[in-house]
């Protein structure tokens, strides 16, 4: 390595994670689309025949969808971004240290192998039932190792850094690492049953992977939603903010609007987010004061969330023509807008009287997806579009394909959340409707059959989003052999072919 020349960043680990994000993203979204059609047309549950029905029916596939898009697609993209921008903002190259490179590669391959086992185990029905923490104890241990390796990579790059001040993105990566580590460890406290001995002296009884939760009933729910809510926060929010704080200024050539606003949003988010988990258990058997805290903090959460979103949007101040001219900027600006929208909708649903109608209905599914498809999905897509020309040193294959993808996916998201709003509120109102004599006005099945049109619209919306995603994967695939770019270090706007 030339000691006096410019730093040469090494993107080999980043590249692996990008490929995984594209691969698992396609699979995870495809499973989601299958689920959507199964809800609209139940006969679709046996689409591979009666013999395989056990593995293709809605309930068995559902955790596979959620886990693959959260931990497969999103985390891969987060790590691709980490191994890309971590080097750049800390001014240290992965190529400078054999150990860091080894940790990075090991991180990827262990993660990849664990993911493969997770897919199989979920298909077999091996699950703890806890949402987004379905994995049994051997996999929980594997996840802990993978996570620790990422921690080692952060510690390594930060330790060797030449740029002394940590950039905002690094704050969010560090927060993500710490919070998820804490949540994962506490939520997965479980006792493997393989260690017990029967009074007759028999050992190794039953399935070796089985375990029992350390917590029971209400306590178990409390820990699970402390985890569940914040897994959303620290996998689907903070690392995505880390990404946008780097990629938006880089792509647009604009400086972040306000340092103070980023400070306020960061520390505000850190303090407030975790409290809000209680809003998943309103009107349940957890103590009332905890439910109220969950509600109140959810509303306060609007402040730090909008702080980040406004900081993003105002970064484009004076440069709004870029939104019209660049599909890449379009993805980021609409993504930030969806973030604002989703972080307003969430607190509304967390208000107790609204939650009484919204809870258990499709409105919640709609909320999750305007965040996941509109915010996370769009930001990940934008990040990969920005990284690809720099990693492969080639221009993005097609700008018009990108534009088409943008509009198809936007239409998909809009169809998705509008249909789920109507479905959720309709069902919530029908459940509680009484007739003039005080009897329930509708039997449960009435409130199911009425949803059929909305389930169909949702499935169409999801399918459009998937089509857009396949166009994205194709565009990136073609980028690897597109026209080479001559500049050594690309500035700002990513080069795009027609």
Cβ nearer to other proteins, comparing 188 with 252: 188
* Distance of closest approach, residue 7 Cβ to other proteins, in angstroms: 20
Query: CB 166 → other proteins: shortest distance, Å?
Result: 5
Q: Could you tell me the smallest distance in angstroms from the CB atom of residue 441 to other proteins?
A: 9
Q: How far is the CB of 15 from other proteins (least distance, A)?
A: 27
Pick the closer one to other proteins by CB: 320 or 360: 360
Toward other proteins, which CB reaches closer, 258 or 403? 258
Q: Which is nearer to other proteins, 194 or 490 (CB)?
A: 194
Q: How many CB atoms lie within 10 A of CB 404?
A: 16
* Alpha carbons 375 and 233: distance in angstroms, whole number: 13
Burial class of residue 354, CB neighbours in 10 A (0-12, 13-18, 19+): middle
Which residues are CB-contacts of 123 (< 8 A; sequence separation ≥ 6)? 55, 60, 64
Q: Of 427, 422, 416, whose CA–CA distance to 370 is shortest?
A: 416
Using CB atoms within 10 A of its CB, is residue 413 exposed (0-12), middle (13-18) or buried (19+)? Answer: buried
Q: Report H helices in 41-136.
A: 53-56, 58-67, 75-90, 98-123
Measured from the CB atom, the residue of 171 and 375 that comes closer to other proteins is 171
CB nearer other proteins, residue 120 or residue 319: 120
CB of 324 to other proteins, least distance (A): 36
Q: How far is the CB of 264 from other proteins (least distance, A)?
A: 10
Neighbours of 321 (CB within 10 A): 10
Residue whose CB is less far from other proteins, 221 or 333: 221
Minimum Å gap between C-beta 52 and other proteins is 10
d(CA 133, CA 7): 40
CA atoms within 13 A on the CB side of 296: 6
């Amino acid at each position: 390595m030339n000691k006096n020349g410019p730093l040469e960043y090494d993107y080999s680990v980043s590249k692996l994670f990008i490929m995984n994000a594209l691969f698992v993203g396609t699979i995870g979204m495809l499973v989601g689309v299958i689920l959507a059609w199964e809800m609209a047309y139940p006969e679709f549950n046996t689409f591979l025949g009666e013999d395989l029905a056990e593995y293709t029916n809605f309930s068995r596939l559902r955790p596979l969808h959620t886990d693959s898009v959260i931990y497969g697609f999103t985390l891969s993209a987060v790590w691709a971004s980490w191994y890309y921008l971590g080097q750049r903002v800390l001014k240290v190259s992965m190529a400078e240290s054999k150990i860091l490179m080894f940790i990075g590669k090991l991180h990827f391959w262990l993660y990849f192998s664990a993911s493969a086992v997770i897919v199989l185990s979920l298909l077999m029905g091996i699950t703890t039932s806890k949402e987004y923490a379905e994995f049994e104890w051997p996999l929980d241990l594997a996840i802990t190792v993978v996570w620790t390796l990422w921690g080692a990579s952060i510690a390594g790059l930060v330790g060797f850094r030449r740029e002394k001040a940590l950039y905002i993105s690094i704050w969010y990566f560090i927060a993500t690492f710490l919070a998820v580590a804490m949540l994962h460890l506490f939520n997965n406290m479980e006792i493997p049953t393989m260690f017990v001995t029967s009074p007759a002296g028999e050992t190794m009884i039953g399935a070796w992977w089985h375990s029992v939760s350390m917590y029971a009933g209400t306590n178990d729910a409390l820990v699970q939603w402390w985890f569940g809510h914040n897994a959303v926060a620290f996998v689907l929010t903070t690392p995505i903010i880390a990404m946008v704080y780097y990629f938006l200024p880089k792509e647009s050539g604009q400086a972040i609007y306000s340092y103070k606003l980023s400070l306020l949003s960061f520390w505000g988010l850190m303090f407030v987010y975790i409290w809000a988990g209680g809003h998943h258990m309103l009107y349940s058997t957890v103590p009332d004061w905890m439910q109220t805290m969950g509600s109140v903090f959810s509303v306060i959460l609007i402040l730090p969330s909008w702080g980040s979103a406004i900081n993003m949007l105002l970064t484009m101040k004076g440069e709004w023509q870029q939104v019209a001219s660049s599909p890449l900027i379009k993805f980021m600006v609409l993504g930030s807008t969806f973030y604002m929208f989703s972080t307003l909708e969430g607190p509304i649903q967390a208000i107790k009287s609204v939650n009484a109608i919204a809870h258990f209905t499709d409105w919640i599914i709609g909320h999750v997806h305007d965040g996941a498809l509109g915010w996370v999905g769009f930001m990940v897509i934008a990040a990969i579009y920005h990284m690809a020309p720099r990693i492969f040193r080639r221009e993005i294959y097609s700008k018009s394909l990108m534009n088409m993808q943008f509009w198809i996916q936007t239409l998909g998201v809009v169809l998705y959340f509008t249909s789920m709003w109507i479905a959720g509120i309709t069902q919530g109102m029908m459940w509680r409707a009484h007739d003039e004599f005080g009897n329930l006005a509708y039997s449960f099945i009435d409130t199911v059959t009425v949803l059929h049109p909305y389930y169909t619209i949702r499935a169409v919306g999801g399918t459009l989003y998937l089509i857009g995603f396949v166009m994205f994967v194709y565009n990136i695939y073609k980028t690897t052999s597109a026209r080479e770019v001559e500049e050594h270090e690309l500035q700002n706007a990513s080069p795009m072919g027609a």
